[in-house]
Amino acid sequence: MDIRRVVLIHPGREGRILGRGTGAPYTLMRLAALVPAEIPVEIWDENLECLDGRLQQLGPNDLVGITSKTLAIESAERMAGIAHRAGVRTVVVGGAHVTLASEDVAGWADVVVTGEAYHTWPQLIQDFIHDRLQPRYHDSTWADLAGVAPITDRVIRMMDENRRYWTPMMEITRGCPRNCSFCTAIRVSGQRMRLRPIDEVVDEIGRRGIKRFFLTDDNFGLAFRTDPAYIEALLKALAPLPLRSWTAQAEMMVSQYPDLLRLAKLAHLDKLFLGFESVNPANRRELGGKSKGQIAQYREAIKAIQAQGIGVVGLFVFGFDHDTPQTLVDTWEFVRESGLDSVSMTVLTPYPGTPFRDQLVSENRLLDRAWRYYDTAHVTFQPKSMTVAELERAYDWFCRTAYSPAQMALRGARALGRHTPTNMPSKLFSSFSTDYGYRRTYAWRHAADGRLLNAWGGDLRLNP
């Protein structure tokens, strides 16, 4: 079959801030880079524009790929329906949700792609051209990251991400050897820490012309312990680049590596997002050995990291079996006196493919909620030590308290105050932006509750 173009679609719900998307769809950029140069390729991002009109212009020679997180899978189905009505014959669906629950999309996707797809996607394109498509492609290899889908100059030009997005995404490591019972990342990316060659990282930053980035790595900080020589070489390679700042996810044990933290600061690392998860020590079993609820240690870790000039964003999850509303009162106490730069609170969510979800199913505690509620801001299961209403009220109270303008201003001013007067103007944005982003997400998700709109006002319900 003749192929007119490949269209890769990113369903979104967050919309734009001041005309720009929050984060560019990084995985789609890498998949677009695997499309042979002679075939036109486009990336459509629902966070940037309503796609309904463009979907209606698609035709049978367009190969359409949609990626989706669990919370956006209904939006993906709606878009696939519009594409099919426009005459598209092949809608390919891949991504984390499909990898963890492929049966969920079997009824409306023409082709299901599970796994990382770096090996199967080029094959799928060839099979489309030669009329031999399979209903399912499964990539069972954990690809060595060396040479995997370097973003091409064609994709860089097409995305124009410095103008259209606030925060470019970047990947340096993938995988995490921990085993948190609620985590989807290890079920999609594996438990072996994989590392990108440093020269490829440096090359990509240079060609994309990015000055800031957010690392998508599941647990970048764990490589401080597992691969310190690699981290040292990486940080030394990043230091001379004209970067303004970057951020990464880690756990508090990075505070035990002051030499690497010093190098990280010189390499323009601005903030670490630390997964504390819980201040409740009774939850340690669910946290895969990562976090033990020992708040004295949390305080020490925050201080040690900030002492190197690096900000700390505290990530917390609420709703574990031993949690009660008092857990959030204790968490807020900790946040107030800990000196954290920003804070994220999410509701524990039983994503498909996780042991946590299996446990809830066996205990008959899963609520009958559509996937769109799996946004970490809604309750989708029956908690063990409180009611659903108590969990909701406690979460709402925490967010309203933590993201009040006064508290955000306090944390932002404190973060800004750690910089030298010369650096302050360039750090003004990043000192306040993380809290603002969390506040906006919380407020938007709850404002839209009951109507369940996508970013452009379209109703997400398939049969409203």
What is the binding site for ligand SF4 (CB under 6 A)? 176, 178-180, 183, 185-186, 218-219, 275, 288, 290
Q: How far is the CB of 408 from ligand SF4 (least distance, A)?
A: 25
Q: Are 346 and 275 in contact (CB under 8 A)?
A: no
Q: How far is the CB of 388 from ligand SF4 (least distance, A)?
A: 24
d(CA 185, CA 182): 9
Q: How far is the CB of 226 from ligand SF4 (least distance, A)?
A: 12
Quick one: which of 259, 249, 323, 326 has its CA closest to 290?
Answer: 249
Q: How far is the CB of 225 from ligand SF4 (least distance, A)?
A: 12
Q: How far is the CB of 175 from ligand SF4 (least distance, A)?
A: 8
Q: Which is nearer to ligand SF4, 273 or 403 (CB)?
A: 273
32 alpha-carbon distance from chain centroid: 19
Q: Which is nearer to ligand SF4, 179 or 426 (CB)?
A: 179
Q: Which is nearer to ligand SF4, 178 or 427 (CB)?
A: 178
The interaxial angle of helices 258-266 and 228-238, nearest 10 deg, is 20
Q: How far is the CB of 340 from ligand SF4 (least distance, A)?
A: 18
Q: How far is the CB of 288 from ligand SF4 (least distance, A)?
A: 5
Q: Which is nearer to ligand SF4, 22 or 249 (CB)?
A: 249
Alpha carbon distances (Å) from 210 to 15, 121, 203, 425: 22, 27, 11, 19
Q: How far is the CB of 302 from ligand SF4 (least distance, A)?
A: 18
Largest CA distance in the chain: 64
Q: Which is nearer to ligand SF4, 45 or 251 (CB)?
A: 251
| Residue 43, token pair as written in the block | 């990336």
d(CA 226, CA 461): 45
Q: Which is nearer to ligand SF4, 170 or 176 (CB)?
A: 176
- Three-state DSSP state, 305: helix
Q: How far is the CB of 458 from ligand SF4 (least distance, A)?
A: 32
206 CB neighbour count, 10 Å cutoff: 11
| Residue 156, token pair as written in the block | 């860089």
| Residue 191, token pair as written in the block | 């438990």
- Three-state DSSP state, 139: strand
d(CA 374, CA 14): 14
78 alpha-carbon distance from chain centroid: 22
330 alpha-carbon distance from chain centroid: 27
Q: How far is the CB of 186 from ligand SF4 (least distance, A)?
A: 5
Q: What is the 3-state secondary structure (H, E, C) of 332-352?
A: HHHHHHHCCCEEEEEECCCCC
179 CB neighbour count, 10 Å cutoff: 13
Segment 401-409 long-range contacts (CB within 8 Å, at least 24 positions apart): 401/332, 402/332, 402/335, 402/343, 402/345, 403/435, 403/438, 403/439, 403/442, 403/443, 408/432, 408/435, 408/436, 408/439
Q: Which is nearer to ligand SF4, 47 or 283 (CB)?
A: 283
d(CA 415, CA 341): 6
Q: Which is nearer to ligand SF4, 226 or 385 (CB)?
A: 226
Q: Which is nearer to ligand SF4, 191 or 401 (CB)?
A: 191
d(CA 143, CA 4): 29
Q: Which is nearer to ligand SF4, 150 or 288 (CB)?
A: 288
Q: Which is nearer to ligand SF4, 246 or 273 (CB)?
A: 273
Q: How far is the CB of 125 from ligand SF4 (least distance, A)?
A: 31
Residue 330 sits at φ, ψ, to 5 deg, of -65, -40
Q: How far is the CB of 242 from ligand SF4 (least distance, A)?
A: 30
Q: Which is nearer to ligand SF4, 227 or 392 (CB)?
A: 227
Quick one: which of 82, 57, 53, 371 has its CA closest to 66?
Answer: 82
